Every structure is written in C-alpha cells, then in structure tokens.
Amino acid sequence: MLEDGVGLIRSFWEEWREIKNRSNILAVKQTKFRLVTGVSGAYALQPIVDELNRREDLKVNLQVIQNDFFGHTVTVSGLITGGDIIKQLTPEAGELVLLPGIMLRDGGDVYLDNTKPEDIEHAFPETTFQWIEPTATALFETIFLQKSNRKKRTIRRSI
C-alpha cells in the first residue's frame, strides 16, 4: 500500500485512466452526484470531476469539507468528522452524495467525533448518501454501474 499522499493520488489517477474509457459506452441512471472530500482529496478528484462533467448526461459537484474539528491545516479526507460534514455540506435536490468510507473509524460506523452516518442522513432527510471506497474503481462503479456498497463502510486508504 502506498503511504504518502502523492503516491495515492498517482495511483488513483492511473487506476482512473485504465477504466475511464469504458464510460463512453455506458448510460447513467443517476445523473447528479456530489463528491465529498477533504482539501487534499480535491487535488486528486478535480481533474476527474471536470472530465465527468464533459458528458451531457452527468453533473458532478465536488464539495471540499474543511477540517474545523482538528484545524484547517489538517487536509486529509480520513480526518474529516461527521459534524464538519453536517455543518458544511450543501447538497442540491436529486444528487446522490458520495462520501469516502475512509472518513469513518475502524469498524466503519462512526466518525472521529462520534457522529454516525445516520446522523448525516437525518440532517439531510431529502438527500441520498452512499459511502464508497476511496478508489477510482469504486467511483466508476458507483456512477456508471450503479453499484452500491452502502453496508461496507470500512475503508482505510485516504487521499
């Protein structure tokens, strides 16, 4: 496993390059998405979001969550808390909000501030959420193959 952020970002982009061409032949059912990430993750995701938004049938918004809990100098997605998500998230109607499972503690059912995924769902009752692995494959499968890994919340990698 790659330990540094640069290696993880490079790995993410390489993985995306390997699978993205399959998206040209796939139609999407869900057309609006919001990707939630930390400051560091935005660097990796923005080029992919731009690429996805070139498709006429997709609208993908990238939402960066600042780390108020630990301080703004902490920029990795894995240390974002549920409380910070609740305070800062601005979903639009009809979006499927995708959150990286790395934000959840070991065990996969609670954030570092003891907020639970259900707390986020209750704060935004009109919004649908899905926690996914922080990999290009998981992102691709969620958007284009409509795969759901809602029950699987234990993910250890971070970008």
Confidence of residue 149 (pLDDT cuts 50, 70, 90): low
28-71 pLDDT, tens digit per residue, is 888 999 999 999 999 889 999 999 999 999 999 999 999 999 99
Asked whether residue 134 carries a pLDDT value surpassing 60, the answer given is yes
Number of H helices, E strands in the chain: 5, 4
The fold for domain 5-144 equals Rossmann fold (3.40.50)
Place of tokens 């070991």: 106
pLDDT confidence of residue 22: 80
Do residues 100 and 77 make contact, with C-beta atoms less than 8 angstroms apart? Answer: yes
What does pTM read for this prediction?
0.86
Tally the residues of the chain: 159
Confidence of residue 6 (pLDDT cuts 50, 70, 90): low
Q: Other CB atoms closer than 10 Å to residue 126's CB: what's the count? A: 7
Dist. CA 133–CA 107, nearest whole Å: 14
pLDDT confidence of residue 94: 96
- Rounded average pLDDT over 97-101: 95
Place of tokens 């549920």: 82
Asked whether residue 87 carries a pLDDT value surpassing 90, the answer given is yes
- Rounded average pLDDT over 82-111: 94
Residue-by-residue DSSP string for 27-95: --S--EEEEEE-HHHHHHHHHHHHHHHTSTT-EEEEEEPP-TTT-TT---GGG--HHHHHHH--PPTTP
Distances (CA, A) of 104 to 56, 83, 107, 109, 127: 33, 12, 8, 6, 19
Q: Please give the backbone phi and psi of residue 102, each rounded to the nearest 5 degrees, phi first.
A: -60, -20
